[in-house]
């Protein structure tokens, strides 16, 4: 194999690796009724290196952190406390469908994870937005695995114990105490992005 062929093969492999890497983007920042929310688009949520974990019956946890910032000439200002959402992903025991447990209390079963996958994140009250100011959203997405014992602890704390009534819904009451930290992961992949700067008037426009 010639040198040019080797170089071309390396470039193709690198491009394929990048194509399958977790990526995140903020596609919209808008106030609906009394709440400001961001539309976050995730691509290649389950990287190739983690697919065999899911296929073997393991679990993955996706941590999505979003912050709304006011853009200022010197120091930008964090408008709301950091929002963290946690999702648990695993195959159903009865088949190959993927179950996505949402920390907000919902559970979805899909044949395959949408790519891209859009998640709507509520950031805070629209009354904190000033029309003349400019804002942007900073988001960090992390997916990975936990040690088995840690996984059980996180599942119990975040989603409730299996015997609890409305176990999945307990997350809403426990969010700020039990939100998964990046340091809790045994292995993980992260991606981050900032949205474009948006005028406050555009965010709160009816």
pLDDT digits (tens, 9 = 90+) for 9-66: 333 344 444 446 899 999 999 998 899 999 999 999 988 888 888 888 888 889 999 9
For 176, the domain range is 22-203
- State pTM to two decimals: 0.76
pLDDT digits (tens, 9 = 90+) for 56-67: 888 888 999 999
Burial 68-81 (b: 16+ CB within 10 A, else e): bbbeeeeeeeebee
Does any domain span residue 15? no
Interacting residues of 104 by C-beta distance below 8 A, sequence separation 6+: 85, 171, 172
Total number of domains in the chain: 1
Does any domain span residue 5? no
Does any domain span residue 8? no
Does any domain span residue 7? no
């Amino acid at each position: 194999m010639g040198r040019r062929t080797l170089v071309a093969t390396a470039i193709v492999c690198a491009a394929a690796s990048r194509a399958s890497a977790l990526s995140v983007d903020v596609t919209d920042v808008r106030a609906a009724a009394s709440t400001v929310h961001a539309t976050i688009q995730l691509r290649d949520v389950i990287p190739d290196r983690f697919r065999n974990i899911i296929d073997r019956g393991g679990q993955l946890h996706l941590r999505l952190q979003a912050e709304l910032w006011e853009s200022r000439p010197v120091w930008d200002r964090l408008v709301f406390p950091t929002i963290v959402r946690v999702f648990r992903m695993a195959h159903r025991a009865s088949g190959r469908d993927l179950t996505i447990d949402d920390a907000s209390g919902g559970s979805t079963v899909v044949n395959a994870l949408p790519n891209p996958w859009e998640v709507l994140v509520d950031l805070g009250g629209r009354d904190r937005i000033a029309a003349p100011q400019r804002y942007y959203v900073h988001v960090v997405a992390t997916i990975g695995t936990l040690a088995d014992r840690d996984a059980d602890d996180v599942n119990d704390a975040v989603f409730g114990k299996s015997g609890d009534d409305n176990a999945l819904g307990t997350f809403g009451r426990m969010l700020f105490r039990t939100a998964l930290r990046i340091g809790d992961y045994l292995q993980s992949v992260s991606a981050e992005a900032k949205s474009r700067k948006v005028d406050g008037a555009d965010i709160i426009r009816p």
